[in-house]
A and B are shown apart, each in its own frame.
Chain A
Amino acid sequence: MRDFRVTPIRNGTVIDHIECGQALKVLHIMGVGEVRSTISVLMHVPSKDGGWKDVVKVEDRELDPREVDKISLLAPNATINIIRDFNVAEKYKVKMPEVVKGIVKCDNPNCITNVQREPVDTEFIVESKSPVVLRCLYCDRIQGDFTERLI
């Protein structure tokens, strides 16, 4: 029996080594409602290292850097495979940025970045990568669960 239960894709992106249980959040980041191609999701599949992982395959779609940054917050060990004509054209591990800019909303309702019309992107210092701890550059607040506040 093959490891994977879905067929290889011709063109698109395979996001591999997603932490178990995070695949649906990764789909949310990619705006699954707006994708006009096939998406395959594998959850809790065996990983070569003996653990478990999730995998997302999106056909005819490549990720932009902003999406990769978001994925790095949810799945810091994920690998991005860009597939062109059934071959892996590019493969890289996501890299969490030192400063997370414009992709998470601050959880402090009194933070200036939550004032509508102020022309500023949110910015967070990554205080720790495992577990991910973000501190707002503006109000200094250490953020709670940010996965629901991805912009």
Chain B
Amino acid sequence: MRELNRERDYSQMTSMSFKGMDIISVSDLTKDQIEEILNLANKMIPYAKGEKTTKALEGKILANLFFEPSTRTRLSFESAMIRLGGSNIGITDQQNSSVAKGETLADTIRTVECYADAIVLRHPKEGAARLAAKFSEKPVINCGDGPGQHPTQTLVDLFTMRREQGSMKDKNVVLVGDLKYGRTVHSLVEALALFGANLTFVAPDILQIPQESVKILEKAGVSTNLESNLENAIADADVLYVTRIQKERFPDQSEYEKVAGSYKVDNTVLREAKKSLTIMHPLPRVDEIAPEVDYTENAKYFKQTFNAVPIRMAILSLIIGGQV
């Protein structure tokens, strides 16, 4: 995590400043810009549900380049583009593209930008989106570069928290699971710090949030708490953000099973939770949230999945330039 420093004066910024902008890392966005995206996403909800229609991006094309598997990110971007009246093209299997012939990412991007108005990219290599942005005149949206950044997921998460909890100031957010390697966690934590949330990190020692990140958060005045017991942390939580513990991080399978079991969220663990608790998960889940939790009022992870559409509609309309 880098130093949190976004104290510049952004009062002059308008939505015009988004047009043509790359969305590579959440740290490229100011607090005001994040607010603008969240506010616009709110207006997009009836369009995302199909209750209203718009042709804001009619005639515009989005290129979806997925060099790694994706369900929610790809489909929600495609859905968002269609809901805005635009069209999608894309690569979902690199074996069926010139990448299989050894084409560089730089050349692929320079080709695709000839056919589209914006590019969405998921790639296994860290920094791939930054490289793509360098070679593309058209805006590039990073949808995950290996274990690196996934900024639009962070915006989806923030949007969900805001819809469920209102302002995040002084709210207690408990993050549980793989806090060391989890792609979504670091940028979410960085963004939550901007909005004044208190953060508790629940993880086994080997997957706990890096000390360096905690120091940066504390320096920025964020209240942080490291906890290894899930039940202790849940009592005061307003938001419980669960991530998958990745099996491949454990050299010993039995060690994984022991750890994964102790961080499983089920109705028993939730006995002491606040009634208003919001449970989130970026999905896919394996067994870190028991299916019985799905039927509680607290489970918001499928709402979170829906929220991806209005957020991505907001981003696309801002960077491609269409008024809804």
* A118 contacts across to B, CB distance below 8 A: 104-106, 131
Known pairs A111-B125, A120-B134; A139 contacts B148 (CB<8 A): yes
Of chain B, the residue at the smallest CB distance from A117 is B104
A110: Cβ under 8 A from any B Cβ: yes
Interface of A: prevailing SS? loop
B307: Cβ under 8 A from any A Cβ: no
Of chain A, the residue at the smallest CB distance from B146 is A110
* CB within 8 Å of A: which B132-150 residues: 134, 145-149
Minimum CB–CB distance from B279 to chain A (whole Å) comes to: 29
Of chain B, the residue at the smallest CB distance from A108 is B126
* B125 contacts across to A, CB distance below 8 A: 110-112, 115
Contact between A139 and B104 (Cβ–Cβ < 8 Å)?
A: no
For chain A, the count of residues having a C-beta within 8 Å of the partner chain is: 18
Report the bound CA distance from A117 to B105 in whole Å. Answer: 9
Known pairs A112-B127, A112-B131, A119-B104; A135 contacts B148 (CB<8 A): no
For chain B, the count of residues having a C-beta within 8 Å of the partner chain is: 21
Minimum CB–CB distance from B4 to chain A (whole Å) comes to: 13
Of chain B, the residue at the smallest CB distance from A141 is B126
* A120 contacts across to B, CB distance below 8 A: 106, 131, 134
* CB within 8 Å of A: which B1-55 residues: 2-3, 25
What per-residue 1/0 map shows which CB atoms of B81-111 lie under 8 Å from chain A? Answer: 0000000000000000000001011100000
Contact between A113 and B106 (Cβ–Cβ < 8 Å)?
A: no
A132: Cβ under 8 A from any B Cβ: no
Of chain A, the residue at the smallest CB distance from B123 is A112
Minimum CB–CB distance from B80 to chain A (whole Å) comes to: 26
Residue of B2, B128, B131 with most partner-chain A CB within 10 A: B131
Contact between A119 and B106 (Cβ–Cβ < 8 Å)?
A: yes
Contact between B106 and A110 (Cβ–Cβ < 8 Å)?
A: no
Report the bound CA distance from A104 to B146 in whole Å. Answer: 22
Minimum CB–CB distance from B126 to chain A (whole Å) comes to: 4
Report the bound CA distance from A115 to B99 in whole Å. Answer: 13
B264: Cβ under 8 A from any A Cβ: no
Among candidates B25, B105, B106, B124, residue contacting A140 with C-beta atoms closer than 8 Å: B25
A137: Cβ under 8 A from any B Cβ: yes
Report the bound CA distance from A117 to B3 in whole Å. Answer: 32
* A140 contacts across to B, CB distance below 8 A: 2, 25, 126-127, 148-149
- For this complex, 6 residue pairs linking A to B, each with C-beta atoms less than 8 Å apart, are A112-B123, A119-B104, A138-B126, A138-B131, A139-B126, A139-B145
| B contact set with A: CB distance below 8 Å | 2-3, 25, 102, 104-106, 123-128, 130-131, 134, 145-149
| A contact set with B: CB distance below 8 Å | 108, 110-113, 115, 117-120, 127, 135-141
Besides A115-B105, A118-B106, 12 new A-B residue pairs in contact (Cβ under 8 A), listed by A number: A111-B127, A112-B123, A112-B128, A112-B130, A112-B145, A115-B104, A118-B104, A119-B106, A127-B3, A137-B127, A138-B130, A139-B127
Can you list the 7 inter-chain pairs with the closest CB atoms, starting with the nearest?
A138-B127, A139-B126, A139-B127, A112-B127, A112-B125, A112-B128, A138-B130
